[in-house]
Amino acid sequence: MMDNRTTRLDEILMAGGPAFTLRLKSSAGEIYADVPAASAPAASAYLRSAGCRHAAVFAEDRVAEDLHYYIYYVFEHPDDTRYLVLRCGVEPGQASFPSLAAEVPALNWQEREIQDWFGLEALGHPNPRRVALHDNWPDVHPLRKDFPIDTVLPPFEGEQHVYRPTLGEGVFQIPVGPVHAGIIEPGHFSFAVAGEPILYLQLRMFYVHKGIEKRFEHLPVPRAVFLAESVSGDSSFSHGTAFCQAVESIGCVEVPEPARRMRTILLELERIYNHVADIGAIVNDVGFVIANAHASRLREEILRINEELTGSRLLRGVVCPGGVRRSWDRGQAGRVLAALDPFEREFNDLTDMIQASDSTRDRLERTGTLHAEQARDLGIIGVAGRASGQDHDVRRDHPYAAYDAVEIQPPVYQEGDVLRRMQVRIDEVRRSLQFIRLAESGLSSGPHRASMPQLPAGEFAIGSVEGWRGEILYWIRTAANNRIARCKVKDPSVNNWPALVEAVQGNIVPDFPVINKSFSLSYSGTDR
Amino acid sequence: MFKILKKTFDTGLVTTGYPDAPPRLSENFRGAPRFDFDNWRDARPAAEACPTQALSIRDRGAVREVTMDYGLCIFCGECCAADRTGAVLMTREFELAVRDKADLVITAQYDIGADGVQQHLKQIHCGLQPVERDTAALEKHVHQAIHQTLGRSLAIREVDAGSCNGCEVEITALNNPVYDLERLGIHFVASPRHADMLLVTGPVTRNMELALIKTYRACPEPKVVVAVGACGIGGGIFGRNYATLGGADQAVPVDVFIPGCPPRPHALLHGILLALGRMGEKGLPL
């Protein structure tokens, strides 16, 4: 079984013939192969036919070093724990690459990001409009190396975004945002409705774009961890861990076993506090206010546990390259374990209360349905993916921290409605509690932090974590003096926003909040 | 139905008594760092470790200026971990909100030797005011202010102007049964047109600049603006770059600044109450 999990991609590459023979680099976690840009569509088609999934596509400006931009396609296969990365060189004079978005809708936004950030044209893209830069931005490409981070752009003029008109008798457009009614992040939604049902939803994101990937290039690695923690504030520990794993992979550093267990515990605590909050918010959006009051109280309990263990309610300032900054003693661990039992009882009371409510179930079942085929085509991952039949979980597929010691059986449902997205969360909270107890029970008092060497320049690696929303990917290339030349951040929300567009169609406008909440995507993680 | 009621009774009262009673904090909570400026011999390692340059040094000849800006501090504790002289101590202080951003900054000047070691403290300018300890009096004052100017209720509109969502996690917590903002006559509203206060988070992205200004204009007078977190105060770890302005006061006038990354709910509550005190001082008309 284990052998299979580390050789399958090699077999697929061998069978793929000469197109994949240019092996760039191979490590325990990744295989890199050089492929001409023109061959990317054929290579992608072959790998997909062999059962691979496109996890991400991104670019890098290496014009100063070796006269090329590079496009990186990240694949994974269910029977291999490594990632396969195809690299395609693009000459500056050519400044374009073939688009795969028509074949692989999951890459739609990511290819357009490459257009915006680097000025490389995605040839044949079915919808090549800007996605990351708003329409009123000047013609700039911020991730090019010749674009200074402190560039002061002139005052913006014109429309931020031109929405497609929706025509027809009795069809109205409802604009919502960017400032929303609740305490949530900003984005603009434009609904086309005929009566109550939603015909079509257009999303405009990137309102909270703050130049994070560029900023990474201006921080030394030890300080950059804190930037990773601020990519998506409710996923600080997951993002920080993914960043650190990439750095550790580059530095060939083995994280001590106690630190891996501590990371596991904290990753699961982050999952629990967010899942509990979302469960409460979902039922709140259909009027079950008292259940939300209990859920938000339970979230507070977990935030207090976080503070007890780490000094930070949102688990900040804990993870670091090589392990964790702070250990905890038996007294702290004992208090936390003692708090988990009443938490679990209360959580069961909460879910009993929700499940006993027929009217709640009535509102959630068959609401906001994302069919399994749609989810597969759009590359939907994480909670939303598992509720729509997509069985992905980084903890099992690319084990890290202490997850190789536990059996991960992700809850997978086929119906893809709000109810199942809530149910996935309920199931996962229960398993997270088990993982925490298991990891804590074997926690020894060894070192919690391996020393990090100065990182070699020009090296690169992936770090990935199953955050509570889904797969978080970091790809880092180092520069001289322990700095970063490129840091690609892919939050699962980037994959999953298009799912919302599909899921709301045919639903009534008043159900939009609960559908949106059931996906619970990160705006900041998307916009960076 | 009976089960739901029973659960409510079984749960009992969970609401914090803050600000009347002290908050329930873990022993391990990391609040603001404190510095022994008088005896500090070498601030370089701590400044080097600071991820947001809240702590920074500038050497000019034989004089070193050490600046600590609590507005930019994310309470990570790295200065304390890096310092080798024992001059940095992490405290559990969180009531740090101020009305004047300059009050968050401490500047100390030292003579330095050839080896870069600080020889003696020449002068220190401490902007940070003593923390308002008399919270009971403050709350009384608040109730008076709300009553006089806003008919016993304060309505807040939260505006995310580029936050990472961390501040929103804690602001949302103000609505839960533990913090229960409404017990103080304060509540969040959906529209700026119903609001007396804007609670602004994030470094203000270029893409949210216009939306923030429009929201401010839509909010009727009298109004107060509170900048939340290291980003809202000065751009935080994102700073000022091609995509951000570097703080709420770059786009709208700000009345109160609440440090933190993110500020814990008690700290938010403290800052909001402080802002209301100001409303009383202004003697705004009803």
pLDDT at A62 over 60: yes
Q: Are A213 and A488 in contact (CB under 8 A)?
A: yes
Distance CA B137, CA A252 (A): 58
Are B76 and A317 inside 8 Å of each other by CB?
yes
Instruction: Give chain B positions within 8 Å (CB) of A311.
Output: 26, 28-30, 77
Amino acid B228: pLDDT? 97
pLDDT of residue A13: 87
pLDDT tens-digit series, residues A42-59: 999 999 999 999 999 999
pLDDT number for residue B217: 96
Interface test with A, best of B159, B242, B268 (most A CBs within 10 A): B242
For chain A, give the percent of residues with pLDDT over 90.
Answer: 85
> Cβ distance B232 to B168 under 8 Å?
no
Claim to verify: residue B112 and residue B155 sit in the same structural domain: no
Average pLDDT over residues A214-230: 96
Cα→Cα distances B153→B157, B173, B184, B224, Å:
13, 19, 8, 14
* Residue B276 within a domain: yes
**Nearest beta carbon to residue B165 from set A207, A223, A524:** A524
Distance spanning both ends of chain A, measured CA to CA: 39
For residue B243, give the chain A residue with the closest CA: A210
**pLDDT-wise least confident of A162-166, A197-201, A448-452, B211-215:** A162-166
Same-domain status, B271 and B153: yes
Q: What residue ranges do the domains of chain A occupy?
A: 4-123, 171-204, 212-527
pLDDT > 50? residue A73: yes
**Which residue of chain A has the CA closest to B15?**
A297
- Give residue A365's identity as a one-letter amino acid code: E
> Cα–Cα distance between B283 and B286 in angstroms, integer?
9
Chain B residues within 8 A of A134 when measuring between CB atoms: 207
B154 to chain A, closest Cα gap in Å:
16
A227/B51 Cβ within 8 A: yes
> What would the pLDDT profile of A394-437 be if each residue is shown by its tens digit?
999 999 999 988 889 999 999 999 999 999 999 999 999 999 99
Predicted confidence pLDDT, tens digits, chain B (286 residues): 788 999 999 999 999 888 888 888 999 999 999 999 988 999 999 999 999 999 999 999 899 999 999 999 999 999 999 998 899 999 999 999 998 898 899 999 999 988 888 888 888 888 755 444 455 566 566 556 555 665 468 899 999 999 999 999 999 999 999 999 998 889 999 999 999 999 999 999 999 999 999 999 999 988 899 999 999 999 999 999 999 999 999 999 999 999 999 999 999 999 998 888 744 343 333 2
DSSP bridge pairs for B65: B58, B109
CB atoms within 10 A of CB B117: 13
Tell me: do B84 and B145 sit in the same domain. Answer: no
B78: closest chain A residue by CA: A317
Nearest to B215 among A179, A182, A304 (CB): A179
Chain B: nearest CA to A187, how far in angstroms?
Answer: 10
Q: In angstroms, what CA-CA distances link A89 with A51, A86, A214?
A: 25, 10, 21
Q: Global pTM?
A: 0.94
> How many residues are present in chain A?
528
C-alpha A188 chain-centroid distance = 20
- Subunit contact B28:A307, Cβ cutoff 8 A: yes
Q: A317 vs B78: CB contact, 8 Å cut-off?
A: yes
Q: Which residue of B has its CA nearest to A210?
A: B243
Distances (CA, A) of B37 to A193, B66, B76, B85: 63, 9, 20, 11
* Number of Cβ within a 10 Å radius of residue B12: 6
Question: CA-CA distance, A311 to B81, in Å (whole number)?
Answer: 14
Closest-CA residue of B relative to A220 is B51
- pLDDT tens for residues A294-335? 999 999 999 999 999 999 999 999 999 999 999 998 888 898
Report yes or no on B28 lying in a domain.
Answer: no
C-alpha dihedral sign at A149, A218, B260, A475: positive
User: pLDDT tens digits for A502-512?
Assistant: 999 999 999 99
* B204: region left, alpha or beta (phi > 0 left; psi from -120 to 50 alpha): left
- Residue B285 is predicted with a pLDDT of 31
How far apart are the CA of A411 and the nearest CA of chain B, in angstroms? Answer: 26
pLDDT score for A44: 94
Q: What pLDDT is stored for residue B284 in this prediction?
A: 38
Assign residue B173 the CATH number of its domain: 3.40.50.12280
Q: Considering only CB atoms, which chain A residues are within 8 Å of B51?
A: 219, 223, 225-227
State in Å, rounded, how far the first CA of chain B is from the last one: 43
Both B59 and B88 in one domain: the answer is yes
Q: What is the pLDDT of residues A339-368, one digit of tens each?
A: 999 999 999 999 999 999 999 999 999 999
Confidence class for position A158, pLDDT limits 50, 70, 90: confident
Predicted confidence at residue B286, as pLDDT, reads: 29
**How many domains does chain B contain in total?**
2
pLDDT at position A43 is: 93
Give the class (CATH, top level) of A212-527: mainly alpha
Place of tokens 């802002």: B275
Question: What would the 3-class secondary structure string for A360-415 be?
Answer: HHHHHCCCCCCCHHHHHHHCCCHHHHHHCCCCCCHHHHCCCCCHHHCCCCCCCCCC
Chain B: closest CA distance from residue A203 (Å): 15
Q: Among 3.30.460.80, 3.30.530.20, 2.40.50.100, 3.40.640.10, what is the CATH number of A4-123?
A: 3.30.460.80
B203 to chain A: which residues are within 8 Å by CB? Answer: 210
Tell me which DSSP letter residue B114 carries.
T
Interchain contact, A325 vs B81, CB within 8 Å: yes
Alpha helices per DSSP H over A68-211:
108-118
Residues of B in contact with A522 (CB under 8 A): 165
**In Å, how far is A194's CA from the nearest CA of chain B?**
25
| B144 and B226 fall within a common domain | yes
Mean pLDDT, residues A462-480: 97
In a domain, B78, yes or no: yes
Q: B250 with B161, same domain?
A: yes
CA–CA separation, B213 vs B204, rounded Å? 10
Contact A207 B11 (CB under 8 A): no
Indicate the residue type of B195.
A
What is the model's pLDDT at position B134? 54
Q: What is the pLDDT of residue A443?
A: 85
Cα–Cα distance measured from residue B176 to residue A290, given in angstroms and rounded to the nearest whole number: 11
Q: Are residues B230 and B107 in the same domain?
A: no
Q: Which pLDDT score is estimated for A18?
A: 75
Q: Is residue B141 located within the same domain as residue B122?
A: no
HSE-up of A367 (CA within 13 Å, CB side)? 26
| Same domain as B110, residue B159 | no
Asked if A311 and B202 come within 8 Å (Cβ–Cβ), the reply is no
Structure tokens at A366: 């068959």
| Residue A153: strand, helix, or coil | coil
Say whether A314 and B166 touch across the interface (CB within 8 A): yes
For residues B168 and B224, membership in a common domain is answered with: yes
Tell me, yes or no, whether B162 and B86 share the same domain.
Answer: no
Radius of gyration of chain A (CA): 23
Contact A210 B172 (CB under 8 A): no
Nearest to B88 by CA among B34, B161, B142, B21: B34
Residues of A in contact with B163 (CB under 8 A): 185, 208, 233, 524
**Residues 6 or more apart from A236 whose CB is under 8 A from it?**
A229, A230, A270, A314, A315, A316, B166
Strand A171-176 and strand A188-194: the pairing is: antiparallel
**Strand (E) or helix (H) holding A335:** helix A330-355
Interface test with B, best of A161, A183, A487 (most B CBs within 10 A): A183
Is residue B73 situated within a structural domain? yes
In-domain check, residue B11: no
Identical topology for domains A4-123 and A212-527: no
Q: Are A35 and A88 in contact (CB under 8 A)?
A: yes
B170 inside domain:
yes
Domain of B231 in residue numbering reads as: 135-282
DSSP string over A458-519: T-EEEEEEE-SSSEEEEEEEEETTTEEEEEEEE-HHHHHHHHHHHHHTTSBGGGHHHHHHHH
What is the pLDDT, as a whole number, of residue B148?
63
Beta strand A323-324 pairing with A460-466? unpaired
B219 and B110 housed in the same domain? no
Mean pLDDT value across chain A: 93
* pLDDT value for B152: 63
The H-or-E segment that residue A121 falls in is strand A121-123
